[in-house]
Amino acid sequence: MPSLIHVENLSKDYRLIRKREGVGGGLVDLVRPRHRILRAVDNVSFDIAAGEMVGYIGANGAGKSTTIKMLTGILTPTAGEVSVGGLVPWRDRLQYTRHIGVVFGQRTQLWWDLAVVESFRLLRKIYEVPEAVYAEQMAVFDKLLGIGEFLHQPVRKLSLGQRMRCDLAAALLHRPRILFLDEPTIGLDVVAKESVREFLREIRDLQGVTVILTTHDLNDIEQLCRRVIIIDKGKVHFDGLLEDLRLRLGRRVRLTVDLREDRTREAMQTTTEGLPVNWQPAEGRHHVAEFRRAEISGAEVIKLVVNACPVSDLHLAEPDIEEIVRDIYRAAGKEHA
Amino acid sequence: MAANDTLPRGKTRSGWSLFIWQIGIYTAYFAQFVKSRLAYRMDFLIDTLAISVSIVIQMAVLTTLFSKVKALDGWSFPEVLFIYGFSLVPLGLFNLISVNLYRFSDQYIIQGKMDRVLLRPVGTLTQVLCESFNISGLNEILLGSGVMIYAARELGLQPGVGHILGLVILAPGAALVYAGVFLAITSVTFWYEDRMGLAPPVYNMIRFSRYPITIYSLPVRVFLTFVLPFAWVAFYPATWFLGSPGFARAALLTPVVGLIVFGGAVMIWRRGISRYASTGS
């Protein structure tokens, strides 16, 4: 498959100043700062083809954002190379940024005090979007995101969900080939999250945009990405299809049970005797079991528990990204050992 | 394997078309700024009022100050006044566009607005300078022009087309000197993160530039001409209008000095951009 984004041995070091204590120390720092080198991204390589939608995931501080910032040309790497369609992001910045759209979930790209439509008009001018394309894009955004309703409100008066919809539209106004999304659903409620995902699916099918997405929400990945790249401590730990990842890990699920009377852990363990279900050490009315979906279904476990104990409440939860990353990391550790 | 799906390289602009494009972008940003100020109508009214009051007060202060002084180191009162008046015009031009240089460290580096700037296909410096304007810079330009006209009349100078042309060339040239000095200082933020830094003390030194440079000792003169070139923001260019022997010819170098200082600062800025470290998260 032809590669649109080529990343090879990419690394980024940050030089952190280790501050000395006190006023005297502050003065010494001025003259002779002590540095500590932190390698945020360590020898990362991958290729992404046009039209792919890739989830780039990892725990906090794993190096996700740093990678995205190098791919978008914000940061200059310490070592390694990036070539996107023949352009080097940080070197060919003025050319390159015409082809990409970027959304940072944490902060808006729009002008805070202006009506949304004013931001779009300025962006149209900056990216030299032809009038016809502009009208077409705005029609699409109104249809898919319903931004027409609040086009004339100042950005500062929008809700987070409305703002995110506007940010997505702003990032796509100039029909970029590549869209970078850094935590696009952070802080949104379930409905707003769903509408953002729906939009991303539609826009991918409609305009064939290549998407790289970082997120904390595993549902984002499941619903949008076939391929995931997992990064931890700056290194790539997994790069492949989501199905393969699931197969490799089995999917760990956690069942929380609240009872109407006390039970020991052993008693709970006997309810699922002989099955690959692991009850965590606990006494009393609250118990937690872990199992893998690949080995046993949730319904089966629930049926056994409900039949054997007086259950007052049940809760089945998927592991979050942090846990998956930890699993991957542990698995990698074992392989090396 | 190298990336083999290529992105089209857009047109690269140069010369005239680059100039026209840049002007278009400045205008668009300026329009945006005015609109966002108008969003707070009361603020806008208060600003306008404050500027008017401030002009009246500054006029009163000048009149009082110079009614006590008859001459300064061989420079007559109207000559000193003319230099003072001229100094305000480039300062006003510079103040119009320099707001974000003072805020740069705090807003762009520490709060991370620089990320957004780097994501747009417009020069970084253009964006930073044009994202906010200080309209009260017009205050200084008007006040300075008024003082110059008054002083010129006292000196018996007949303002002609040549003088206006001279002002149109020398004032922006001098403003470039200011812009260069403060851009260089701002760029230091890329190496040493610091909220306020060097700008305020240097800004305070601007006042030295409003008087005839001959009143200072030789080391100070050399310092203000070659090191921190504030002699070029008022004294040298103003002498061109006064026709002072010796200095008047140096005055014509003002735009050249402006271009050198500003060009040097842009180079430091560009090096700084490649060192930009962004914020966490």
What is the residue range of A299's domain? 252-317
Q: Which of A180-184, A248-252, B63-67, B222-226 has the lowest mean pLDDT?
A: A248-252
Kindly state whether residues A242 and A260 are assigned to the same domain: no
Cβ pair A100:B119 closer than 8 A: yes
In B, which residues are within 8 Å of A124 by CB distance?
Answer: none
Mean pLDDT of A114-140: 92
**Does residue A141 belong to any structural domain of this protein?**
yes
Quick check: A162 contacting B, CB < 8 Å?
no
Cβ pair A114:B10 closer than 8 A: no
Please enumerate in sequence order all residues whose Cβ is within 8 A of that of A275, keeping only pairs 6 or more positions apart, or say none: A291, A296, A300, A301, A304
The strand order across the sheet containing A311-317 reads A277-279, A284-292, A252-263, A311-317
Q: What is the pLDDT of residue A292?
A: 85
Q: How confident is the model at residue A313 (pLDDT cuts 50, 70, 90)?
A: very high
Encoded tokens for A321 = 């990204």
Using CB atoms, pick whichever of B7, B123, B277 lies closest to residue A177.
Answer: B7
Encoded tokens for B139 = 């205050």
Encoded tokens for A217 = 């929400």
Kindly state whether residues A79 and A57 are assigned to the same domain: yes
> Where along chain B do its domains lie?
49-275
Q: Residue B78: how many CB atoms within 10 A of its CB?
A: 20
Kindly state whether residues A278 and A211 are assigned to the same domain: no
In B, which residues are within 8 Å of A99 by CB distance?
Answer: 7
Using CB atoms, pick whichever of A47, A74, A111 lies closest to residue B36.
Answer: A111
Cβ pair B278:A114 closer than 8 A: no
Minimum Cα–Cα distance from B274: chain A residue: A76
Kindly state whether residues A95 and A189 are assigned to the same domain: yes
Pair A156, A222: CB distance under 8 Å: no
In B, which residues are within 8 Å of A3 by CB distance?
Answer: 1-5
- Give me the half-sphere count of Cα atoms (radius 13 Å) on the Cβ side of residue B223: 8
Q: How far apart are CA B65 and CA B67, in angstroms?
A: 6
Check which CATH number belongs to the domain holding A310 and give it.
3.30.70
Kindly state whether residues A312 and A292 are assigned to the same domain: yes
**What is the model's pTM?**
0.80
Kindly state whether residues A136 and A280 are assigned to the same domain: no
Kindly state whether residues A110 and A189 are assigned to the same domain: yes
CA A257 to chain centre: 30
Pair A58, A325: CB distance under 8 Å: yes
Q: Which of A35-44, B17-26, B86-95, B160-169 has the lowest mean pLDDT?
A: B17-26
Q: How far is A207 from chain B (nearest CA, A)?
A: 16
Name residues 45-104 of chain A within 8 A of B (Cβ).
Answer: 47, 49-50, 65, 69, 72-76, 83-87, 90, 93-100, 102, 104
The answer to whether ipTM exceeds 0.85 is no
**Can you point out the beta strands (E) in chain A?**
3-18, 34-49, 53-57, 79-84, 100-104, 178-182, 210-214, 227-232, 235-241, 252-263, 277-279, 284-292, 311-317
Quick check: A158 contacting B, CB < 8 Å?
no
Please state, rounded to an integer, the average pLDDT across all residues of chain A: 87
3-state secondary structure of A286: strand
Q: What is the pLDDT of residue B74?
A: 79
Mean pLDDT of B138-163: 87
Encoded tokens for A143 = 């249809």
Mutating which of A8, A48, A75 best tests the B interface, going by the most B Cβ atoms within 10 A?
A75
What do you get for the CA distance between the two ends of chain B, in Å?
Answer: 31
Kindly state whether residues A268 and A196 are assigned to the same domain: no
Kindly state whether residues A243 and A262 are assigned to the same domain: no
**Does residue A332 belong to any structural domain of this protein?**
no
CA B81 to chain centre: 21
Quick check: A4 contacting B, CB < 8 Å?
yes
Mutating which of B1, B5, B33 best tests the A interface, going by the most A Cβ atoms within 10 A?
B5
Name residues 31-50 of chain A within 8 A of B (Cβ).
Answer: 47, 49-50
Instruction: Give the type of residue at A9.
Output: N
Cβ pair B276:A65 closer than 8 A: no
Kindly state whether residues A135 and A265 are assigned to the same domain: no
In A, which residues are within 8 Å of B114 by CB distance?
Answer: 74
Kindly state whether residues A209 and A304 are assigned to the same domain: no
Q: What is the pLDDT of residue B35?
A: 80
Which of A51-55, A189-193, B136-140, B159-163 holds the top average pLDDT? A51-55
In B, which residues are within 8 Å of A86 by CB distance?
Answer: 3, 6-7, 9
**Does residue A242 belong to any structural domain of this protein?**
yes
Helical H runs in chain B? 15-38, 41-68, 77-97, 99-103, 114-118, 124-130, 137-155, 161-187, 199-204, 218-222, 235-242, 247-251, 254-275
Number of folded domains that form chain A: 2
Mutating which of B4, B6, B7 best tests the A interface, going by the most A Cβ atoms within 10 A?
B7
- pLDDT above 90 coverage of chain B, percent: 27
Q: How far apart are CA A216 and CA B243, in angstroms?
A: 70
pLDDT over 80 (residue B54): no
Q: How far is B179 from chain A (nearest CA, A)?
A: 24
Pair A87, A95: CB distance under 8 Å: yes
Quick check: A111 contacting B, CB < 8 Å?
yes
Kindly state whether residues A256 and A243 are assigned to the same domain: no
pLDDT in tens, B121-135: 998 999 999 888 888
Q: Look-up: residue for tokens 């190096």?
A: A63
